Amino acid sequence: MNLLPPFKKRGFFSSSENDRIVNAIRKAETTTSGEIRVYIESRCRYVNPLDRAAEVFWNLKMDHTELRNSTLLYVAMKDHQFAIYADQGIHQQLGDAFWQKEAAAMSLHFRHNHYIEALLLVIEDIGSALMEHFPYDAAVDKNELPDDIVFGK
């Protein structure tokens, strides 16, 4: 989608904004075996940001989770594009309608320059969906992927 207004600065987010996003990921992942990652870069190398999100997803080895239940939130700030890419395990459980609803929510917030709020909302929604379909089991679950934001070029 192409709905992002110009970004604020080269660093994209402040330290406290970064912390809020990472903490939201950690909170969401405390109730599920699923994984959520955020990838931010300046430009999307492809016309379709979903194609770029898929490339990033594979490069980050997000398809290596045991239950194939990881989700990537991809944002290209200068190109005003984003995508949500989910692995087959969670996508099969939730279907296209869920992801379209989350993309619409991100679009709405991004139009009003509410980047952080958009990411926090979608992280929370995805976390709730993951909790429902992939609940946390302390006996076997571990954090399979880092929670930090990945910044590209």
Q: Is residue 1 part of a domain?
A: no
Is 2 inside any structural domain?
no
Residue 5 lies in a domain: no
Tell me, yes or no, whether 8 lies in a domain: no
Which residues span the domain enclosing 85? Answer: 15-151
Note whether residue 4 is domain-resident. Answer: no
Task: Please give the tally of structural domains in the chain.
Answer: 1
CATH number, position 119: 3.10.310.50
How wide is the angle at C-alpha 117 spanned by C-alphas 32 and 106, nearest 5°? 80
**pLDDT tens, position by position, 71-106:** 999 999 888 899 999 999 999 999 999 999 999 999
**Model confidence pLDDT, tens digit, residues 22-43:** 999 999 999 999 999 999 999 9
Separation CA 144–CA 65 (nearest Å): 6
pTM of the model: 0.90
7, part of any domain: no
Three-state DSSP class for residue 71: strand
